[in-house]
Amino acid sequence: MNCPKCPNQTLVSREVRGIQVDQCDRCGGIWCDPTELSKLLALADGEARRVAGGRADPAVNARAGKCPRDGKQMIRVASARKREVIIETCPDCRGVWLDGGELKELLRA
Ligand SMILES: [Zn+2]
Ligand SMILES: [Zn+2]
């Protein structure tokens, strides 16, 4: 799967405590299922931080991405955990994309 925000950048599969996420090494963004995201947010801070890389970049955040799984245009939604954090979700497969820095932001919520 390719990063929805960086051209020609492949997502790397990472595992944190049995939770599977796909991460972009360039922007630090992560792709996962909604259930995986809730599990990730329930982890102790230090563990989840392993995949909470990257820094929030407003320009990258504002650019709507396409789902890395099926190419559908993703929808920008406010995170239920912290309304100021705008995450992206695929209307088709329900996957979730967090830009670099957003997971860190949600962990702090
Ligand atoms: Zn990227
Ligand atoms: Zn999708």
Q: How many whole angstroms from 105 Cα to the centroid of ligand 1?
A: 17
For residue 37 the two structure tokens come to 């995201």
Residue 2's pLDDT is 96
Q: What are phi and psi of 56, to 5 degrees?
A: -60, 130
Residue 33's pLDDT is 95
- On the question of pLDDT at 31 being above 80, the answer is yes
Share of the chain above pLDDT 70, in %: 100
Domain boundaries, the chain: 12-107
Q: How many whole angstroms from 60 Cα to the centroid of ligand 1?
A: 9
Query: Of 83, 86, 98, which is closest to residue 34 (Cα–Cα)?
Result: 98
Query: Of 75, 92, 93, 68, which is closest to residue 9 (Cα–Cα)?
Result: 68
- On the question of pLDDT at 45 being above 80, the answer is no
Q: How many whole angstroms from 44 Cα to the centroid of ligand 1?
A: 25
Across the range 14-28, mean pLDDT stands at: 95
Ligand nearest to the CA of 99: 1
Specify whether the CB–CB gap between 49 and 101 falls below 8 A: no
What is the CA 26 to chain-centroid distance, rounded?
A: 13
Query: If pLDDT is split at 50, 70 and 90, which confidence band does 108 have?
Result: confident
